[in-house]
Structure 1
Amino acid sequence: MSMIKQLNYVVLLSFGMSAFANADFVNVKTLDDSIVLDMKYASSDNFLKQSVYPCGECYLRQNTAKALIKANQEFQQLGYRIKVFDCYRPLSVQKKMWQILPNSTYVANPAKGSKHNRGAAVDLTLVDKQGKELDMGTPFDFFGQKTHHSYRQLPKNVLANRQLLKTILAKYDFKPINSEWWHYDYRPQAGAPIADFVWQCPA
């Protein structure tokens, strides 16, 4: 065993694998406190009808967070801000969600893991200067055709709002999925490792 491998092994024994599980993650609010948090899975206001997070913190891979902040800065120039519904999601929570709704159209199979489990996905919308959400046609976590990007039977302002969200985020390498207008994957981190650490809550 090389000297470097020996040192790494000692570090792992001393601190445990969990010490490295969240080393590449960052709390988004520590980088940009203008981003609004409405972490739905830290409350009962979600399709699970129960809280599955210890508190409403938004963690992402550092590169994902930095790209999100750049997008938020551009939205601010237009008079809007990003509002986040979900960020990194522990794999254990993914398993619980799959038990409730085992439908890969709306919930990623935990056997494969989701981009949320990798810290490479974010669920979000936009708010105006008064903090009011732009009309996106449906609430977050609504299951049905109306949430699909391909669904066009919506008012013009709703389609325009969705297009604005999509266009700006695309400039920073965020890719939508068709079935949820609010879900965006950060492509450069799509292959990041799955994580299952739970963040610490403020005292």
Structure 2
Amino acid sequence: MRRTAVCLLVLAASAAAAAAPGGSPAVRTSGDRAGSGDTAPAPSSDPARSPGAVRTGERRAPAEFTALESVAPSIRQEIRYAGSHNFVGEPIPGYRESQCLLTRDTALALRRAQRAALAAAHSLKVYDCYRPQRSVDRFVRWAKDPSDLRMKREFYPRVDKDRLIPDGYIAERSGHSRGSTVDLTLVPRYGPEPVRSGGGRGPCRATPADRAGDGSLDMGTGYDCFDELSHTDHAEVVGRQRANRQWLRRLLEREGFVNLPEEWWHFTHRPEAFPDRWFDFPVAREELVGRR
């Protein structure tokens, strides 16, 4: 999550939808992205949703959630917000474990996509899956703190921090909090396990040799790069980089995922199990019903 991440759901574009009851803030619709991107815009065939049906901050994991490793253990995981290599520069509240939690139908769809990737000698690798609302809230607080520029050089070198919220890179709700959105890439299947990524290197839009590497295919930018170059079909992304993005998108679209155009790494499985619910239970297997 653009970009990284805290993308919110695109609701009905009517005045009634903008004025949620109880003085709730209007939902942002500027690309629905943030940090790890977040929610791909709802297809035009989706019915307009009533603000009264939205449920936020639910603190219990429904039975429909599962751990990706229990469904598709071959998919590699580098959950960035459980560590310090992310645009904030520290572990994010809500990530008790470095785990990918998703709705079960989303995890099963990833398993099918993984089979196709493995057949081509590659593997999917996830950066972020379910994200608690408390984590999204931390991103918003960070974006409003002009003094914290620790990770600017790497993750948002060409964007002033005070533009991250107005320009839609950071938002107050994220599709990740609904459990059907995932940020991911492709890595070679064979050879040693890729070295975990590290900070302190070049800008996320730099050449692969100059930016922080994590063993993934060259997609033209690093993950969570707050830059227009992260747009999936950006005109400056050509050759092998463009081909890699298109391959990742094809693998996932075949299994019902929709890409967020502003972030090459961001996909939402349709139809969503919880289109109008945002959860806040921590990322930890012990939170799952039956610990599946």
**Identity percentage over the alignment?**
33
Is the Cα contact below 8 Å between 2:122 and 2:186 reproduced in 1? yes
* Counterpart residue identity of residue 26, structure 1: T
Which of 60, 70, 83 aligns to 2:125? It is: 83
Please state which structure has a larger fraction of its residues in helix: 1
How far is 1:152 from its partner?
A: 2.0
Aligned residue for 1:60, secondary structure, equals strand
Q: Is 1:154 matched up with 2:237?
A: yes
Aligned pairs for 1:33-48 within 5 A: 33-48=73-88
How far is 1:201 from its partner?
A: 5.8
Which of 186, 189, 198 aligns to 2:282? It is: 198
What CA RMSD, in Å, does the superposition of the two structures yield over aligned residues? 1.8
Q: Is 1:118 matched up with 2:178?
A: yes
Q: Which residue of 2 aligns with 1:92?
A: 134
Aligned residue for 1:158, secondary structure, equals helix
Structure 2 Cα separation of the partners of residues 172 and 98 of structure 1: 32
The change in CA–CA distance for 1:103 and 1:69 in structure 2 (over 3 A counts) is farther
Aligned pairs for 1:45-194 within 5 A: 45-52=85-92, 53-101=95-143, 102-103=165-166, 105-110=168-173, 114-129=174-189, 130=191, 131=194, 132-189=215-272, 191=275, 193-194=277-278
How far is 1:103 from its partner?
A: 4.6
Q: How many residues align?
A: 182
Mean alpha-carbon deviation: is it higher for 47-56 or for 92-101? 92-101
Is the Cα contact below 8 Å between 1:105 and 1:179 reproduced in 2? no
* Counterpart residue identity of residue 115, structure 2: Q
Greater relative CO, 1 or 2 (CA 8 Å, sep 6+): 2
Structure 1 Cα separation of the partners of residues 242 and 283 of structure 2: 36
Is the Cα contact below 8 Å between 2:130 and 2:283 reproduced in 1? no
Structure 1 Cα separation of the partners of residues 284 and 86 of structure 2: 22
The change in CA–CA distance for 1:173 and 1:136 in structure 2 (over 3 A counts) is same
Instruction: List alignment gaps of at least 5 residues for structure 1.
Output: 1-16
* Counterpart residue identity of residue 79, structure 1: A
How far is 1:200 from its partner?
A: 3.0
State TM-score, norm by structure 1. Answer: 0.83
* Counterpart residue identity of residue 115, structure 1: G
Is the Cα contact below 8 Å between 2:72 and 2:107 reproduced in 1? no
Structure 2 Cα separation of the partners of residues 22 and 48 of structure 1: 29
The change in CA–CA distance for 1:133 and 1:183 in structure 2 (over 3 A counts) is same
How far is 1:155 from its partner?
A: 3.7
Mean alpha-carbon deviation: is it higher for 165-174 or for 145-154? 145-154
Aligned residue for 1:151, secondary structure, equals coil
Structure 1 Cα separation of the partners of residues 121 and 96 of structure 2: 32
Is the Cα contact below 8 Å between 2:132 and 2:283 reproduced in 1? no
- Map Cα deviations across residues 111-153 of structure 1 (whole Å, 9 max, x no partner): xxx2100001000000012353110011111111110113121
The change in CA–CA distance for 1:72 and 1:144 in structure 2 (over 3 A counts) is same
Structure 2 Cα separation of the partners of residues 168 and 41 of structure 1: 25
Q: Which residue of 2 aligns with 1:31?
A: 71
Structure 2 Cα separation of the partners of residues 161 and 183 of structure 1: 14
Aligned residue for 1:164, secondary structure, equals helix
- Map Cα deviations across residues 162-183 of structure 1 (whole Å, 9 max, x no partner): 0000111111111111111111
